[in-house]
């Protein structure tokens, strides 16, 4: 069974990272591309956000005895296969895991235009992820 304290703590972290990123949205794309300090802050916060989502998925998967442990993408897939999150949210979070790997391991050069676009266009998917998990958790009672 899911540990409520762990679950709530991980949701709180996800929410805080989203709020932090929303506060970093004020620059134009040109200003963002020229501001290395902001780039690093956004990239690090995105990595932390995505990792928090993976950690939460792993906790749910393991405590609910879903598919065996695997890669970070498989942790997300397990939630989709169990209908805990929607197929659309699953697909977007799987993409995010790949994006985190690019940011964390610097596979090639990080495209700052892409990071800027993620900052401005994709935070909704992390909100959806946490909302769908919260709804699932509330139904457990």
- pLDDT tens, position by position, 46-97: 999 999 999 999 999 999 999 877 899 999 999 999 999 999 999 999 999 9
pTM, to two decimals: 0.93
CB 92 within 8 A of CB 50: no
Confidence of residue 107 (pLDDT cuts 50, 70, 90): low
Contacts of 121 (CB under 8 A, 6+ apart): none
Return d(Cα 81, Cα 61) in angstroms, integer.
11
């Amino acid at each position: 069974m899911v540990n409520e304290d762990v679950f709530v703590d991980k949701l709180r972290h996800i929410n805080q990272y989203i709020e932090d990123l929303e506060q970093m949205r004020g620059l134009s794309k040109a200003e963002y591309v020229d501001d290395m300090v902001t780039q690093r802050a956004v990239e690090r916060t995105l990595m932390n956000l995505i990792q928090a989502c993976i950690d939460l998925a792993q906790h749910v998967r393991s405590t609910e005895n879903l598919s065996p442990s695997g890669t970070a993408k498989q942790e997300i897939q397990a939630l989709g296969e169990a209908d805990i999150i929607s197929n659309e949210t699953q697909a977007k979070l799987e993409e995010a895991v790949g994006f985190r790997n690019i940011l964390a391991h610097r596979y090639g050069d990080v495209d700052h235009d892409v990071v800027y676009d993620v900052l401005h266009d994709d935070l909704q998917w992390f909100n959806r992820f946490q909302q769908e998990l919260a709804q699932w958790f509330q139904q457990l009672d």
